[in-house]
Amino acid sequence: MEIFGSTFDDSVFLEARDRVSVALSSYNAKLCKPEWFCESTALDTDDPLEKQKVFKFRGDLAVRQGNHQKALDAYSSCLEWIADNNLTIRRDVLEGMARCCTRLGQRDRALDLVDLLSKEASNTCHLISLLLLKVSIYQHFGDVRSKMSSLQQLCSMLPFNPWHWYSLGQTCLQLLESDRTTGPCSPQRFESVEEQSAEQQEEAAEMDEDKIWLKACTCFIRTRLLLRILRQQQSSFVLQRTESTLKTTDEVLQRLNPKETTLQALTEVVSEDLIPEKMREDYQDGESLASVCLQSFRGRWWNKILLTGVLETDGCQHQTQTDTES
């Protein structure tokens, strides 16, 4: 019996056929001066692709220089010359316009551009980029509750990314502090993305202080678990960042002051899926949205957490330490 891999195909030892050399035609590379696209003559062309490049480069340069109105004008002009099948550049330009509108204080226009991008999202990469864009817009305008909703969507899409969990926990802390100083406030503007609407309606009834506190504890516990797993494979400045965040997470949990039984119950719930095989196979970047079945944040974690009864057992004990420090 032959051992697998112990024999070779005869073709391996055959002489290679004589290769016919093909003479390459001469090629002269196009040389461009620095910032050639800023010259007035750069638009003296009938090629739509060249005009698209000129306006795109002008917009990118203006953003780098901090001139967001000039960048917005250039991106708007660029949009007119983008071919219908060039979806990548179109998404890039629309996102640039949304970020410029944000910096210029044009909140409604920025969110309208986000809605337009959401209709064209076709894979998980698009949706993740869209959610990150929403987070930056809401953060700029101080819309903490909408930012929290987008971060929960990110945590549902990328459940093993500790930085989204950490950001969600920090947002919960911010919401706790704002509610104590100004009182509860109603959500400002919610998006029309189909997969978010139902969850947002449920969240509107969940914004009392105790539940936000519990969600903050959950996020920081999940962050700590994920970072402890990741640091085994890290080194250098990456490991330093992880260690620093772990220290901050421990300090925040001490300030939140949950009971030991609460810590144990929450740790058990949020660590159920921390299995190496599952962590490698969960949602791959670029997967089609049609084949992705996402559970909402509530369905995946929150309902299980409420079933533990930690709110009833912990009560409002957490308010004693956090109130004295604020």
Higher pLDDT, 282 or 256: 256
- Output 14 or 224, whichever has higher pLDDT: 224
What's the pLDDT band for 309 if we cut at 50, 70, 90?
A: confident
Q: Which residues contact 305 (CB under 8 A, 6 or more apart)?
A: 214, 218, 266, 269
Question: What domains, with CATH codes, occur in the chain?
Answer: 37-120 (1.25.40.10), 147-182+207-326 (no CATH)
Residue 17 identity (one-letter amino acid): R
What was the pLDDT predicted at 195? 44
Alpha carbon distance 71, 166 (integer Å): 32
| pLDDT at residue number 40 | 87
State how far the Cα of 135 lies from the Cα of 91, in Å rounded to an integer. 17
Indicate the average pLDDT of the chain. 83
Collect all residues with Cβ–Cβ distance below 8 Å to 273 and sequence separation of at least 6: 159, 279
DSSP assigned state of 159: T
Query: Which range (115-129, 166-180, 189-203, 241-255) has the least confidence?
Result: 189-203
Vertex 324 angle, CA 320 and 326, to 5°: 120
CB burial string 207-229: b at 16+ within 10 A, e below: bebebbbbbbbbbbbbbbbbbee
118: exposed, middle or buried (Cβ count in 10 Å: 0-12, 13-18, 19+): buried
Q: For residue range 39-52, what is the model confidence (pLDDT) as tens digits?
A: 988 898 999 999 99
pLDDT at 300: 87
- pTM of the complete model: 0.80
CA–CA distances in Å: residue 128 to residues 80, 156, 157, 199: 26, 11, 8, 18
User: Which residues does 114 contact at the CB level (< 8 Å), separation at least 6?
Assistant: 98, 130, 133, 134, 137, 191
Q: In the predicted model, is pLDDT for residue 308 greater than 90?
A: no
Specify whether the CB–CB gap between 71 and 62 falls below 8 A. Answer: yes
User: What tens digit of pLDDT does each residue of 165-218 get?
Assistant: 999 999 999 998 876 666 554 444 434 434 445 555 566 556 788 999 999 999
Return the higher-pLDDT residue of 2 and 263. 263
Residue 15 in this model has a pLDDT that exceeds 90: no
pLDDT value of residue 191: 43
Per mean pLDDT, which range of 17-26, 33-42, 48-57, 59-68 is the poorest?
Answer: 17-26
